[in-house]
Every structure is written in C-alpha cells, then in structure tokens.
Amino acid sequence: MSAPQLEILAIAVVTAAGCALVGVFLMLRRLAMLSDAISHAILPGIAVAFFVTHDLASPWLVIAAALTGLLTVVLVETLTRSRRLKEDAAMGLVFPALFSLGIVLITRHAGDVHLDVDAVLLGELAFAPFERFVVGGADLGPRHLWVMGGVTLLNLLVITVFFKELKLATFDAGLAASLGLAPAVIHYGLMALVSVTAVGAFDAVGLILVVALMIGPAAAAYLLTDRLGLLLALAALLGALAAGLGFALAVWIDASIAGCMAVGVGLVFAAVFLTAPGRGLISVLRRRRRQRWEFAQVMLAIHLLQHEGGDEEDEESRVEHLHGKHVGWTPAFTARVVDGARQRGLVESAGERLRLTERGRAAAGRALSGVSAQPAGS
Amino acid sequence: MTLLSDLFTDYTLRTVALGSAALGLVAGALGAFAVLRRQSLLGDAVSHAALPGIVLAFMITGAKTPLVLVTGAALAGWAASLLVMLVVRTSRIKLDTALGLVLSTFFGLGLLLLSVVQHSAGAGQAGLDRFLFGQAATLVGDDLRTMSALGALVLVVLTLMWKEFKLLSFDPAFAGSLGFPVRRLDVLLTTLLVIAIVIGLQTVGVVLMSAMIVAPAAAARQWTDRLGRLVALSGAFGAISGLCGAVLSSLVPRLPTGPTIILVVTTVTLLSLLLAPRRGVLAARLRAARQRRRVRIESVLADLYRLAAQHREPAAAPHDIDALRTMSPDAGVRAGLKQLAAQDLAVADPDGRWRLTEAGLARGRELVGGSS
C-alpha cells in the first residue's frame, strides 16, 4: 500500500471513530436523522463565511458551519414546539431549504469560488493527501488527519468526562432534570459536538459518508450489546472496520472512495444484522420457529391433560384425532409436534394412544397456571 | 407579458413548466398522506435510494429513455422502503436509524456505480449526474409524457382507494378490525409515494426531492383540517411551486433547478405558517391579544361591580380609579375603563370618578355571580 493510500485510510478510520462516538447518542435519542439534517444544513454557513472571508482555510468557515448546524437544531425544535408541524415534517422542511440555499449561493458565484458542489456531496478523499499540514516548513502529514484526529479526541474527551451525565440524560431525561443536570444544556452540548464533527468530517470525506458513519456503526453495535461503554467502543471499531473494508473495495474496483465506504458501512451492518447473537435476523427467526414448536408441544400436553382420566380419554389421545375436529392441525404438523414432544419427553406412545409423562403433566400444569394466574379480562 | 406568451409558444419553456407542475401536483398530493402518517423522512430515504436504481438501469439496458430510468429508480426506492420496514419490524432498531442507514448506504452504492460507469462508459453516460440536483432544462416531450402518464396513474389509484387510504392514515387499527388488508394497503400507498418521488427526480434531483413531499403538505396543513382539501391544496401548492421554481431557474442563468424549486416551496410553507387564518402564527397572536384585552376589561368591570355592590344605590356610587388599581395591580385599568365607556358599560363623572351604567351593572352581576 502506497503512502497516500495509507494516509487516506488513516483519515477515514479516524473520521469513522469520531462520527461513531456521537452517532451512538443520536441513535439512542432517536435523532439519527439529525445527522443527515445537520450535515446538509451546514453548507450555507460555509458559503456565507467564505463570501465574507474569501479564504477557504479560514477557521471562520468551520465556526460558521458549526453554528448553522446548531441553527438547524433550533429551527427544527422551534417548529416542532409551535405544534404546527410534527418533528419529522419540521426536519424534512428545514434542512433541504438550508441546503438549497447553500447550493444556490455557491453556484451563483461559481466563477469566483473554488467550492465544488459535487465534491461537497460526494467527498474527495482521493485528494485528501494533497492538503498538507505544514508548520514552519516541516510537513506534519495531511491536514484532514490532524483536524479529524483533533475532533475525535475532543469527542472522546467530552464523552469520557461527562459520561455519567450523558448516560442519564439520554436514558432518563426526567430523572436527569430532577437531579439538577440541565438536560437542555447537555442536549445542546451534544448537538454542538455533532455539528463540529459533521463540519470536520464533511470537509474530509463528504456529506453522505458523514451520515453513513454516524448512523451505521452505532446501529450495528446496538445489536451486539446493552452496555453504553461497550456500545461506544464497538461502534467506533465497526466504523473503522467499515471504512477499511470500503477502502479496499474502492482500490479493488477503482470507484468512488466515499461511495465504497458508505457501502462498506452497509455491508458491516448487514452482516451484524443477520448474524448477531440473540438479536440478529437469523437468531430471531430461529427463536420464533422454536417458540412456535414449543408452544404447539405444550398445547398437545394441555390437550392430553384435559382429557386424562375422562370418559373420552381413549379417543381424544389418538394421534389421528388431533388433526381432526379439536386442535385443527394438519397431519404433517401434528406428526412433527408429536415427534418433538416425544423427544423432549413430554409424551410417550402406548399403542395408538399418547400418554403424558410426568414431565409433560408438569409442563402443561405450569402453562395452565400461568394462564389462570392472569387477571380476569386481560 | 413576454413570459406569458413564451409559456404558450416556446417549446422548451412549456415542457419545463408543465413537467414541473406535474411533479409538484403528484408529490404534493401524495406528500399529504406521508406527512399525516409521520413518514416525511421516508421520502428522503426513498429519493436518495433511487440513485443506484437509475445507474443500474442504465448499466443493464444501456438506454437513457425516461421509462427505463424511472423504473430503475422506483424499484430501488421500493426496495429501500421495504428494507426499512424489515429492519424496524425484526430488530430493536428504530425508524429514524433505519431510514438514515438505508439512505446513506443506498446513496453510497449509487455513487459507487456512478463512478464505475463514468470510468468505463465514456460519453454514453453523460447526464446521469443531473439526477443529483435536477435539471429542468433537460426535460423533453418524452419525459413529459412518461411523467404525466405515471402521475395520472398515481392520482387515479389515489382517487379509487380514497376511503381506504383515509382510514389507513387516521386509524389503521380500526381499518384492520373492519377487515381491510392494512399491510397490503400500507405497501400500496408507499408504492404510490415511491412513484410520486421518482417522477420528480430528473427535475428536482434525488438530494432534494424529499422536500417536495414534505413542504407542500406542511403548508396545506395550516389552512385546513379536512383531508380532501388538504390533498387538493397540497397538490396545488406543489404544482405552483414546481412551475415557478423551474421557470425561474430556466430564465436566470446559473440557477440550479432543484434548489430553486425547494426555496420557492419553502417560502410558500413559511408564509402559510405565518398567515394561515386559524393555525397561522399571526392569527394566533391576534387571538391571544384579543383574549388578553377581554380579560382585562372584564376584570375591571368585575372590580367596579364589587365596589358598587357595597352600596345601597349601586348605580349612583362613583369610585376612584386608584381604588380599582389597588384591586388589580396589573397595568391597564385606565385602558380597560375607556373600553368599558366605549361600550356604554361605565361612565366617568366630571370629577374623574367612575361608575357603572345599568347595562354595566347587569353585566357585572353576570360576571361576578349572585354570591357577592
């Protein structure tokens, strides 16, 4: 791997980790789409600051962009609180408007501005190694690596220092308020962090990858753990993995790096979504299937228990009878249920009849007591 | 007036205007349902997700005919919305996260394919990237026919299924209990939304099309509480904004179509939020001011009545304005008295003291009640 490639990969991995850290909180607060909104809406901030300063490297651009990001949050919340629009509609209204404003500003002045709309949207990671961070004539590496390294460290620092507060405000805002933690301050602090991260990352990797890196790794990690600390670490790790995967893909098929990395995020999520232990699609479907069979086996046991010692016991406990009028199962289904119940030792065969074992009687009794223990009418 | 005559004679301008109006109409009408069902951001996901469909359709067929590209876009958008539903139904991941994830991944895939096509296909692919921000000027008769046919189809289905969709939007549980196939209706309505979105992609672009779903409906919602009027008004707002925005962008050089249309429709929405007769901010402010004034007048009247009721001859007992001020320390006693005088409920004596008229006494008795 060549030196520029290594630098691109390093920028992407650091960006992925920084985005994932704030993305986790956005997801937990059900504000994931704010990453989309904020990263689009910072465009007019950048454009206006550029027209004022005429300097693409000016720190004012970053400050203006971060402020526009916060403005987006405030606008969405004002519209929602006015109760004239629901939150999703408010978001869907505000950020396209701000983004449109940014694009119109940029294209109207396309002649004298070196701001390419496509580059903003799609990212130009391929060119990132050309922008160097030079101090006193010494080349210290790509500029974006320093910027995103700083942003990621800032995120890490803030989250570590305010871990307890963030955790409480995220999971129980009411309790946080009653303990005097000022959830509003925490909320806007977090939004400021998201804005700063979006601005830094947007410059380095492009808009769409910011959204992918904030949401995807957090979502994948959420399927793997219930602990916030672990969730943050896993999200950062999965984000870095997705970035690496995407970069390998981009080199291999010679395609857009940002596009490939977004696809990498999708692939990592898809893999976790399918295979996560306990919460992945495969184990969910398996569990649902198993529960279906177990339920049917217990039904069988209950049926047998109901007629045990009764006048019709002989008839009711025949296998053919089960798919007849009372239980209404198909013959094939009945055969599998009886097989399964026999394997689990719930029933045993006695000639053409089925008989409950001690275990089966206990299982049916447990299930029935569970039913009758429910309050009436529920 | 030249613009108006151009609209009828200039072929390009007419195509652009009609096409943009059609896209606004259909997106507005379907958007009303999306906003009501809190699916505003689904439009964002679907429109971004259409990009890989467009590029794939071109890669597979090698054709850029509108029907082919629109079909690809619709299939990809549809797949994206189904994926969102799958993730939300089978895991603990919430709707907002699923939307953002599918949106960015699909769009990333679109960028990937676009860069592959640009490397390999040479000039043949030129113009695919106009789907990012839209370009009204590239609309031709063929596009217009495809858009109108699809749009008409969507509106016809919407009309035929009106009752079902209405029920689905307001009370899906009730619809289910009546035996309507809720799940299938949901998919059908989402499919119509997908078609409404892909119709506009060429003009507005995948990045901003979602706003054409949300903004007209958000504007229309301020003017009415009835579904029929909401859908009609939303369609009208969409059509007018689409038309104005597209014509503006084709007349002014270097004004990209998609963003211009979005800025126009956002302006319409902001004006609606401010000016709508009952829900508008202005109307609400006026109503609050009127309410405050009425409360002030009535409280002064009640105070004056309480003072008068202490006397044997209530009507003949004037009272000092300072006495009233101590009873209602909040400002506005004099203004309240003036308004009472204007309504002939109170009169000022020449010495500046105030008393109630007969009508004022009767009104005061109503306000205070017989108890005091």
User: Quick one: pLDDT at residue A112?
Assistant: 54
Average of pLDDT values for B153-163? 95
Report if residue A35 sits inside a domain: yes
Please indicate, yes or no, if residue A377 is contained in any of the structural domains. Answer: no
Of residues B120 and B276, more confidence is placed in B276
Q: How many residues in total does chain A contain?
A: 378
Axis-axis angle for helices B11-36, B40-61 (nearest 10): 130
If we measure between CA atoms, which residue out of B217, B244, B215 comes closest to residue B233? B217
Q: Whose CA is closest to A292, among A343, A329, A326, A345?
A: A329
Does residue B291 sit at the A interface (CB-CB below 8 Å)? Answer: no
Cβ contact, residue pair B96, A86, below 8 Å: no
Q: How would residue A377 be classed by pLDDT, with cut points 50, 70 and 90?
A: very low
Q: DSSP alpha helices (H): ranges in B121-226? A: 130-133, 141-160, 162-170, 172-177, 182-204, 209-221
Query: What residues of chain B, 310 to 349, have a C-beta less than 8 Å from chain A?
Result: none
Task: Single out the residue in A232, A249, A278 at which a domain terminates.
Answer: A278
With CB atoms and an 8 Å threshold, state whether B96 touches A32.
yes
**For residues A33-61, average pLDDT:** 84
Q: What is the DSSP letter of A111?
A: G
Residues B208 and B99 in one domain: yes
Which of the four pLDDT bands, split at 50, 70 and 90, describes residue A378? very low
H/E stretch holding A355: strand A353-356
Is A240 a member of any domain? yes
On average, the pLDDT of chain B sits at 87
Determine the average pLDDT of the residues in A60-67.
86
Q: Provide the chain A residues 79-98 that lie in CB contact (below 8 A) with chain B.
A: 79, 82, 84-86, 88-89, 91-93, 96-97
- Answer yes or no: do A211 and A79 share one domain: yes
Containing domain of residue A136, as a range?
Answer: 3-278
The tally of domains found in chain B comes to 2
Within 8 A of A106 by CB-CB distance, chain B residues are none
Same domain, residue pair B255 and B313: no
Among residues B246, B278, B310, which one ends one of the domains?
Answer: B278
Mark whether B180 and B297 lie in a shared domain: no
Considering the domain architecture, whether residues B183 and B271 belong to the same structural domain is answered as yes
User: Of B278, B302, B323, which residue sits at a domain end?
Assistant: B278
Q: CA nearest A208 in B: which residue?
A: B104
CA-based diameter of chain A, in Å? 100
CATH number at residue A142: 1.10.3470.10
Alpha-carbon distance of A360 to A304, in angstroms, equals 9
Q: Indicate the helix (H) or strand (E) that contains A159.
A: helix A143-161
Q: Are residues A113 and A248 in the same domain?
A: yes
Q: Burial, A209: exposed, middle or buried (Cβ in 10 Å; 0-12, 13-18, 19+)? A: buried
Please judge whether B112 and A91 are an interchain contact, meaning their C-beta atoms are less than 8 angstroms apart: no
* pLDDT, mean of residues B40-63: 90
Cβ neighbour number for residue A259 with a 10 Å cutoff: 30
Q: Are residues B341 and B256 in the same domain?
A: no
Contact A110 B254 (CB under 8 A): yes
Judging contacts by C-beta atoms under 8 Å, the chain B residues touching residue A212 are 101, 104-105, 108
CATH number where B37 lies: 1.10.3470.10
What is the average pLDDT score of chain A? 85
At A203-260, the pLDDT tens digits run 778 888 999 999 999 999 999 999 999 999 999 999 999 999 999 999 999 888 889 9
Q: Are residues B272 and B330 in the same domain?
A: no
In sequence order, the 6+-apart residues with CB closer than 8 A to the CB of A79 are: A85, A90, A93, A94, B273
Mutation to test the A interface, candidates B84, B92, B105, most A Cβ within 10 Å = B105
pTM > 0.95: yes or no: no
d(CA A27, CA A218): 7
Closest-approach residue (CA) in chain A for B118? A255
Residue entry with tokens 């519209």: A79
**Min distance A107 CA to chain B CA atoms (Å):** 6
**A262 and A221 fall within a common domain:** yes
**How close A279 gets to chain B, by Cα (Å)?**
7
- Quickly count: other Cβ atoms within 10 Å of residue A153's Cβ: 13
Which residues of chain B have a CB within 8 Å of the CB of A260? 108, 112
**B371, pLDDT greater than 60:** no
Rounded to an integer, the average pLDDT of A254-275 is: 93
Kindly determine whether residue B105 and residue A27, on different chains, have CB atoms separated by under 8 Å.
Answer: no
Task: Determine how many CB atoms are found less than 10 A away from the CB of residue B76.
Answer: 26
CATH number at residue A367: 1.10.10.10
Pair A37, A147 in one domain: yes
* Whether residue A29 is found in the same domain as residue A59: yes
Statement to judge: residues A227 and A334 lie in one domain: no
- The CATH number for B320's domain is 1.10.10.10
The H or E element spanning position A353 is strand A353-356
Using the predicted structure, report yes or no on whether residue A374 has a pLDDT greater than 50.
no
Task: Name the domain count of chain A.
Answer: 2
Quick check: A256 and B111 CB within 8 A? yes
DSSP H or E stretch at residue A141:
strand A138-142
Other C-beta atoms lying within 10 Å of the C-beta of residue A82:
13
Is A327 found in the same domain as A207?
no
Of A262, A278, A294, which marks where a domain is finished? A278
How far is A158 from chain B, CA to nearest CA, in Å?
23
Domain boundary among B278, B311, B329: B278
Kindly state whether residues A314 and A360 are assigned to the same domain: yes
Same domain, B223 and B354: no
DSSP class of residue B252 equals: S
A contacts of B112 (beta carbons < 8 Å): 253, 255-256, 259-260, 262-263
For residues B46 and B28, give the distance between their C-alpha atoms in angstroms, rounded to a whole number: 16
List the single residue in B104, B108, B254 with the smallest CB-CB distance to A108: B254
Same domain for A254 and A226: yes
Check whether residue B346 and residue B241 sit in a common domain: no
- Domain region containing B341: 283-368
pLDDT of A107: 82
| Region class of A375: left (phi > 0), else alpha (psi between -120 and 50), else beta | beta
Instruction: Return d(Cα B51, Cα B58) in angstroms, integer.
Output: 11
Q: Which of A30, A100, A212 sits opposite B108 (nearest CB)?
A: A212
Q: Please tell me whether residues B24 and B71 are part of one structural domain.
A: yes
Lowest-pLDDT choice from A273-277, B81-85, B118-122: B118-122
Q: B57 with B73: CB under 8 angstroms?
A: yes
What b/e readout covers A177-208, taking b as 16+ CB neighbours within 10 angstroms?
eeeebebeebbebbbbbbbbbbbbbbbbbbbb
Domain membership flag for residue A378: no
Shared domain check, B129 and B11: yes
Task: Name chain B contacts of A107, Cβ cutoff 8 Å.
Answer: 254-256, 259
**What are the residues whose beta carbons fall under 8 Å from the beta carbon of A75, sequence distance 6 or more?**
A90, A94
ipTM of the complex in this document: 0.85
Q: Is the same domain home to A268 and A368?
A: no
Instruction: Say if A122 is an interface residue toward chain B (CB within 8 Å).
Output: yes
Give the pLDDT confidence score for residue B136 in this predicted structure.
78
A322 pLDDT higher than 90 = no
Lowest mean pLDDT segment, chosen from A56-60, B98-102, B341-345:
A56-60
Residues B154 and B301 in one domain: no
Examine the domain organization and report whether A191 and A151 are in the same domain.
Answer: yes
Model confidence pLDDT, tens digit, residues B260-273: 999 999 999 999 99
In a shared domain, residues A298 and A183 = no
Same domain? For B193 and B302 the reply is: no
SS3 state of residue B114: helix
User: What is d(CA B97, CA B109) in angstroms, rounded to the nearest whole number?
Assistant: 18
Q: Give the end of a domain, one of A236, A251, A278.
A: A278
